[in-house]
Chains A and B, each alone.
Chain A
Amino acid sequence: MIEFVWLIPAIMLLAALVNGLGARRLGKTAGHVAWIAMAICCVISFVILFQVVGLAHDHHWEGTKVLLWKWFDIPNFFGPNRTFSVEMAFRVDQLTAVFLCFVSFIGTLVFIYATGYMKEKHHGHLELDPGYARFFAYVSLFAASMFTLVLGANLGVMFIGWEGVGLCSYLLIGYYFDRPFSDTLSCADAGRKAFVMNRIGDAGLIVGIGLIFWGLGTVDFAEINAALTSGKLPDGSAIPAGFKYGGALITASMLCMFLGATGKSAQIPLFTWLPDAMAGPTPVSALIHAATMVTAGVYMVARLNVPFFLSPGAMAVVAIVGALTAFAAATMGLTQRGIKKALAYSTVSQLGFMFLGLGVGAMAGGIFHVFTHAFFKGCLFLAAGSVIHALHHEEDMFKMGGLKKYMPKTWLAYLMATLAIAGFPLTSGFFSKDEILFSAFISAGDGLPILWAIGVVTAVMTAIYMGRTLFLTFHGPERFDDHAREHLHESPANLTTPILILGALGLVVGFLNVPHGFGGGAHFHHFLAPVVDRGAEHVAAMRGFQTDHAAGVIPAGPLVVAGADGVALAMDAGHKSIERTLAVASGLLGIAGLAIAWWFFGAGITDRSRRLARTLQPLWRLSFYRWWWDDIYTALFQKGTMLKARIIWQLDVAIVDGAVVGMAEGCRSISRSMRRLQNGQVQVYGLVMFVGVCLFLVYLAIGMSNFIGQTAEEPQQGRRILHNAPSPRAIGDGPIVSHSILTERELVQND
């Protein structure tokens, strides 16, 4: 099946094409086409996963490449010995298989959900959204792009998917292209904002790809890894010094790549588009802006783990940016009124967690958090969508409350997912977050575990704001009006079933990766380790650390980052007890966070919660206005760029074009004044002629005297040279014409 992996994106592309061309004629069929296509892809993905599990027993297997065709092949005829060769090729390995499976599985559920969600109530009965087919065309195209992204065997193909998902995100955020989204933005604005901010990251990505190409002569993942680990280019020469461990070039290129990741995965400094991306339909928020697309940056860093590990500087930046983003976004999420907005900041924060994990070397831990997060955050968004649907597009949590009674299934799902994301013991979020925090702790080595501390504070805040959304939405007094209450009802089965499935899985998928410290097997980690721990192993071996993967030494990455020289000791009793202690602590903190949320918001918006906001007014404002991050960007970049553009255009008209027009005007005014000379008066003509003749005669006289003086002294040089034989270079293959008037200087130079 692996060699037919191209079927996966192809099927989704076909579905997109059918929906796009069929448009309005398809009606309800559009949704069925999309979700059935997705389900087929899901089946294929799982078949591939099982095959990969089988193949992975062979430790030398490094993935299977499926070459489709040559995309680019441009020899560099001149300059460094590089051929710009990019194949349209896919690569299937453990990391890809995992992504394929969870993307297609969650995708199928979301698509089924969307067939129920993309309907509007008109005159009492449900009608399909007018853009129903368009919606499914876009999401199918998204799925095709996402699959291409994770399947790409090189940076070029990955970039196709990378931009493709960005495009679909743009189209889907602006899906309601005639509606306003907030006071300042329309939905179309939000979409464009997302695309442009992503483009800033993509520009970095392109520069990074260029640096890698000129340095290593390839953009293929396997070849990059081979060149970096062996220190040799394919032609046998050594890699440039800048690409050795800690080199400037590898750091520069990885930072450029990470800029791309911050755009796609909404990290500081490019995160402000994601909260506005909630302008899209809720299934899109669930699938694209929570579960799959925004994790592309995490995927890329994990995919490039070898170069990242070779650049401690870049790793540190990844970890620090991740931690800061996690913290900042969590504070912003504490006070948001819109349920989707709160969830969006939560997504940014959780993505920060993932990068924190990657940056401290826990590549598998970061990916595992991507995996668990996809389930519980997908569930949260879909449940929020169910609520919003029931309340007629009301997103303000201050106008909800007490919905548990009306929507028990949605509540149950939301509860399960909230427990998971808050890190309630033994849920999936507990395990995945714990691994990241543990890694952050030990990666500090002997230093202060500052990143870990930030992570713990963030984890507590996560529990608080998630509890807040749960209690404000489903508990406490009802804050909606009677009209809304009349229509309030539990969503139909095609909405609630996917939510419940995701919620339940969100509770239990954590058991796939129970750490050794708890007596588990860390199966998920072991499965991914051959791909994502290559960098750690290489650096450990290179710096003389001992690694012994087979013996169950899991957190090799963090210890490599910490520079610990006894990596083999990773799982000694001390570490195991640290892991257990940290896990118990973080579980307790999660429960504490939920309790705090219950204390303040359990009974809705009460005096207690208002007093809290008043007491902490400056902090509340900081949080509610999202650190004024958006406003600063708008003023600085958006308005600033437009102002600069306006000035440049004015200069263009005034100066660059002005010079041209001025020249024309000058000619005209000269000729206008010259025209006066032709006035028909013969006397004037005669006078001018006389002056002219005089001047000419004077000129002649001066010229003659010069000439006479010269010939008297020496024969003219030019004449002599003409008699010389033509210089050797002047002779072509044929007869050369000899009456050339080469000047002396040129002939001398030719010799």
Chain B
Amino acid sequence: MLLTLIIFCPFVLGLLALLLAQAKQMKYWALGILVVDLLLALYAAVFVFDWSGAVQTTEIFGLEVQTPFQMRAHVPWPLLDMFEISYTVGLDHLGMLMVLLTAGLGIFGVLCSFTAIKHREKEFYFHLLVLQTGMLATFAALDFLVFYMAWELMVIPLYFLIGIWGSKDRLYATIKFVLYTLAGSLMMLLAILWMYYNGANTYSFEKMIGLGMAEKWHMAVWPFLGLMFAFLIKVPLWPLHTWLPDAHTEAPTAGSVILAGVLLKTGIYGILRFAIPLFPHAAVALAPLFTWLAIIAIIYGAMCAMVQTDVKRLVAYSSVSHMGFIVLGVFCFNGPALSGAILQMINHGISTGGLFLAVGMIYERRHTRKMADFGGLAHRLPIFAALTMVMVLSSVGLPGLNGFAGEFPILVGAMGNVPIMTLAENPSSFHGFLRQQNYTWLVAALAAMGVILGAVYLLLMYQKVFFGKLDKEENESLSDLNGREIFQLAALSVAALLIGLFPQTVMKPINHTTRHILGVVAAPLSLGPENEPLRYEEAPHDDHGHAAAGTAQTPEG
């Protein structure tokens, strides 16, 4: 019930606000609603959620299943329950972290729009709130129909946000975004139907797992690709990324922040939650493919970012590069890489979200995003320069800040890329011409290139905007940040520093998810009798259970 409250609180209260609030007051309503939502989520995280990760037993449509999900709500859908469709939501560690990220970043989406949005305010904030509900529902849904609806619910408000409040080419960008995502969703729908008609006969994810469908579908590649198509468009992974620069560039600041901060994560989330657990065999077989696509994305995105003249487009392309790191981490199938990737989902929300906030602040002052129009801003806006520097460094991956805390395990983990190593040891597998070659070092070295290039384009951007002489007349009269703006960037900076220094507080719950997912791919990876099966550790690591406490507070309060 609490979870349902968290999910629908923005939407329902948003409707109320739409009826009651005056246009000028709407932003305070929205802020209040999201703060309430965040408090609810924090309450759930601290007092309700059991961070020790015990598995419960529950019954779904007549099947007893073991489920790692907590705070569940399971309501069979009237009339549709004959198709085993139900409203089922629940959270595991991954979901809980994503809900916290969503609830947290939503507030920044509202805060950054306070003065930027001047017309049709009521609708604007209502769309933001609906978007919030859509994202929360996506991270909580355990029924494929609910998931699909939530997935689509995210697109609609964003369509309006970009289309109405965006900048010059907003219509082109928003239609491209919607059509692109819908194409992906269609593939996902087909995959869902395939699953229903190929043995599952249910839309409940938990029941599919409980039925052991993953083993039955071990030859199924197409439905896996269908799911991946939808998810990878959202990520976005090269070559499915081209909607992103347009959408980001044209979206209002709030749209960009939420898009980069949360929406892109739904793609990775979908891969981790549904695609890999349901089709581990296909995931393992195709892992090298996604590894290479991720490598291409890392370098390609960075290269594209390097030559941009528009700050926002640069940050957008940097997202392509950074999300490539995450995909790389996911498909290495080892502890450090996967945990790092999940942490990086949060980190990317903070650092790229922060960068978009910064771009929005400067856009609001100058109504341009061209780097050539700036220069020397550090003279006039020292606070802004300092806080943006923290965000840039976090994005560059400076040790001690959050970006490094995710990137470092990913890069280290990439050197132990399990699928590539397994395939190298197992010549009988069908993986193309690269088989028998342990080229993990090459993957890691190429990914490390991304680290270098990241410093190149971000520092270049920073230098063009903030350093040099203040030689543009229009920039003379710019004012430094106000309190609200300082709060936004400072809060994210503090978060970046805390995660950077104490990543283990977040990493500890993440390790639960990592263990869970690696348990799923353990069977497909232990191929062939001639090979010694790879080790899979069932029990949590010794130190792990007693490591420094952080977010993992006592359950039940």
A contact set with B: CB distance below 8 Å = 20, 23, 69-85, 88, 156, 159-160, 162-164, 167, 170, 174, 177-178, 186, 188-189, 192, 195-196, 199-200, 202-204, 206-207, 209-211, 213-214, 252, 641-642, 644-646, 648-649, 652, 656-657, 659-660, 664, 729-730, 732-737, 739-743, 746, 749-750
Q: Which residues of B contact A740 (CB under 8 A)?
A: 199, 201
Residue B548 lies at the interface, judged by CB distance under 8 Å to chain A: yes
A214 to B176, CA, bound (A): 44
Question: 1/0 per residue B509-548: CB within 8 Å of A?
Answer: 0010011001101100100000000111100110110011
Nearest Cβ in chain A — how far from B448, in angstroms? 4
Q: Which residues of B contact A78 (CB under 8 A)?
A: 333-335, 418, 518, 521-522, 525, 534-537
Q: List 24 A-B contacts (CB under 8 A).
A: A73-B508, A73-B541, A73-B544, A74-B339, A76-B416, A77-B334, A77-B518, A77-B537, A78-B334, A79-B421, A156-B408, A167-B398, A174-B463, A178-B469, A195-B455, A199-B455, A207-B411, A213-B412, A252-B441, A648-B303, A656-B239, A730-B211, A732-B212, A750-B216
B contact set with A: CB distance below 8 Å = 59, 62-65, 176, 179-180, 197-199, 201-202, 210-212, 215-216, 218-219, 238-239, 241-243, 300, 303-304, 306-308, 333-336, 339-340, 376, 378-379, 382, 386, 393, 398-400, 404-405, 408-409, 411-416, 418, 421, 441, 444-445, 448-449, 451-452, 455-456, 459-460, 463, 466-470, 501-504, 507-508, 511, 514-515, 518-519, 521-522, 525, 534-537, 540-541, 543-544, 547-548
Nearest Cβ in chain A — how far from B247, in angstroms? 12
Q: Is the CB of A178 within 8 A of B376?
A: yes
A589 to B202, CA, bound (A): 88
The interface centre, meaning the residue of A76, A207, A750 with most chain B CB atoms within 10 A of its CB, is A76
Q: Is the CB of A210 within 8 A of B452?
A: no
Q: Which residues of A contact B393 (CB under 8 A)?
A: 167
Q: Is the CB of A206 within 8 A of B411?
A: yes
Q: Which residues of A contact B468 (CB under 8 A)?
A: 177-178, 186, 188
Q: Which residues of A contact B451 (CB under 8 A)?
A: 199, 202-203, 206
Closest to A198 in B: B455
Q: Which residues of A contact B444 (CB under 8 A)?
A: 207, 210
The interface centre, meaning the residue of B300, B303, B441, B535 with most chain A CB atoms within 10 A of its CB, is B303
A77 to B176, CA, bound (A): 41
> Which 4 A-B residue pairs are closest in the complex by CB-CB distance?
A734-B63, A75-B541, A76-B335, A657-B242
Nearest Cβ in chain A — how far from B202, in angstroms? 8
Q: Is the CB of B459 within 8 A of A196?
A: yes
Q: Is the CB of B307 within 8 A of A646?
A: yes
Q: Which residues of A contact B525 (CB under 8 A)?
A: 78
Known: A733-B64, A746-B199. A203 touches B335 (CB 8 A): no
A20 to B515, CA, bound (A): 42
Nearest Cβ in chain A — how far from B402, in angstroms? 13
Known: A192-B459, A210-B444, A735-B62. A84 touches B304 (CB 8 A): no
Q: Is the CB of A74 within 8 A of B212?
A: no
Closest to A732 in B: B211
Q: Is the CB of A192 within 8 A of B463?
A: yes
A75-B544, A78-B521, A84-B412 given; 9 more Cβ-contact pairs under 8 Å: A73-B508, A77-B518, A177-B467, A177-B468, A200-B452, A660-B176, A664-B176, A729-B212, A734-B59
Q: Is the CB of B303 within 8 A of A742?
A: no
A732 to B210, CA, bound (A): 7
Q: Which residues of B contact A211 (CB under 8 A)?
A: 415, 441
Q: Which residues of A contact B379 (CB under 8 A)?
A: 178
Closest to B453 in A: A641
Closest to A743 in B: B198
Q: Is the CB of A70 within 8 A of B300?
A: no
Question: Looking at the complex, which one of A174, A189, A746 makes contact with B198 (CB distance below 8 Å)?
Answer: A746
Q: Is the CB of A73 within 8 A of B547?
A: yes
A79 to B339, CA, bound (A): 14
Question: Looking at the complex, which one of A206, A729, A737, A746 makes contact with B219 (CB distance below 8 Å)?
Answer: A746
Nearest Cβ in chain A — how far from B55, in angstroms? 14
Q: Which residues of A contact B59 (CB under 8 A)?
A: 734
Q: Which residues of B contact A732 (CB under 8 A)?
A: 63, 65, 210-212
Q: Is the CB of B445 within 8 A of A207?
A: yes
Nearest Cβ in chain A — how far from B403, in angstroms? 11
Nearest Cβ in chain A — how far from B346, in angstroms? 15
Question: Looking at the complex, which one of A167, A642, A733, A742 makes contact with B199 (CB distance below 8 Å)?
Answer: A742
Q: Is the CB of A660 within 8 A of B180?
A: yes
Closest to B421 in A: A79
A69 to B505, CA, bound (A): 11
Q: Which residues of A contact B404 (CB under 8 A)?
A: 163
Question: Looking at the complex, which one of B179, B412, B540 makes contact with A210 (CB distance below 8 Å)?
Answer: B412
Known: A163-B398, A740-B201. A69 touches B303 (CB 8 A): no
Q: Is the CB of B547 within 8 A of A70?
A: yes
Q: Is the CB of B547 within 8 A of A652?
A: no
Question: Looking at the complex, which one of A79, A162, A203, A642 makes contact with B448 (CB distance below 8 Å)?
Answer: A203
Known: A70-B504, A195-B459. A77 touches B515 (CB 8 A): yes
Q: Which residues of A contact B449 (CB under 8 A)?
A: 203
Q: Is the CB of B543 within 8 A of A73?
A: yes
A149 to B467, CA, bound (A): 29
A76 to B215, CA, bound (A): 24
Question: Looking at the complex, which one of B304, B333, B502 makes contact with A648 (CB distance below 8 Å)?
Answer: B304
Known: A77-B518, A189-B463. A72 touches B211 (CB 8 A): no
Q: Which residues of B contact A195 (CB under 8 A)?
A: 455, 459
Question: Looking at the complex, which one of B307, B398, B518, B540 makes contact with A649 (CB distance below 8 Å)?
Answer: B307
Q: Which residues of A contact B238 (CB under 8 A)?
A: 656
A192 to B306, CA, bound (A): 14
Q: Is the CB of B448 within 8 A of A207?
A: yes
Question: Looking at the complex, which one of B242, B336, B441 makes contact with A652 (CB distance below 8 Å)?
Answer: B242
Q: Which residues of A contact B239 (CB under 8 A)?
A: 656, 659
Q: Which residues of B contact A164 (CB under 8 A)?
A: 398-400
Q: Is the CB of A736 within 8 A of B211?
A: yes
Q: Is the CB of A71 within 8 A of B521?
A: no
Nearest Cβ in chain B — how far from A735, in angstroms? 6
A164 to B500, CA, bound (A): 13
Q: Is the CB of A177 within 8 A of B303?
A: no
Q: Which residues of B contact A735 (CB under 8 A)?
A: 62-63
Q: Is the CB of A23 within 8 A of B382?
A: yes
Q: Which residues of A contact B197 (CB under 8 A)?
A: 741
Closest to A202 in B: B451
Nearest Cβ in chain B — how far from A606, in angstroms? 41
Q: Is the CB of A214 within 8 A of B416?
A: yes
Q: Which residues of A contact B400 (CB under 8 A)?
A: 160, 163-164
Nearest Cβ in chain A — how far from B476, in angstroms? 14
A659 to B238, CA, bound (A): 13
Nearest Cβ in chain A — how far from B232, in angstroms? 14
Q: Is the CB of A734 within 8 A of B64?
A: yes
Nearest Cβ in chain A — how far from B11, in angstroms? 32
Q: Is the CB of A72 within 8 A of B300?
A: no
Known: A202-B451, A652-B242. A178 touches B467 (CB 8 A): yes
Q: Is the CB of A75 within 8 A of B540?
A: yes
Q: Which residues of B contact A84 (CB under 8 A)?
A: 335-336, 409, 412-413
The interface centre, meaning the residue of A73, A75, A646 with most chain B CB atoms within 10 A of its CB, is A75
A160 to B500, CA, bound (A): 10
Q: Which residues of A contact B463 (CB under 8 A)?
A: 174, 177, 188-189, 192
Nearest Cβ in chain B — how far from A190, in angstroms? 11
Closest to A81 in B: B535
Nearest Cβ in chain A — how far from B287, in angstroms? 13
Q: Is the CB of B336 within 8 A of A76?
A: yes
Q: Which residues of B contact A644 (CB under 8 A)?
A: 303
Q: Is the CB of B415 within 8 A of A214?
A: yes
A84 to B333, CA, bound (A): 14
Q: Which residues of A contact B339 (CB under 8 A)?
A: 74
Closest to B399 in A: A160
Q: Which residues of B contact A204 (CB under 8 A)?
A: 448
Known: A84-B409, A656-B242, A733-B65. A199 touches B452 (CB 8 A): yes
Known: A642-B306, A657-B242. A75 touches B416 (CB 8 A): no
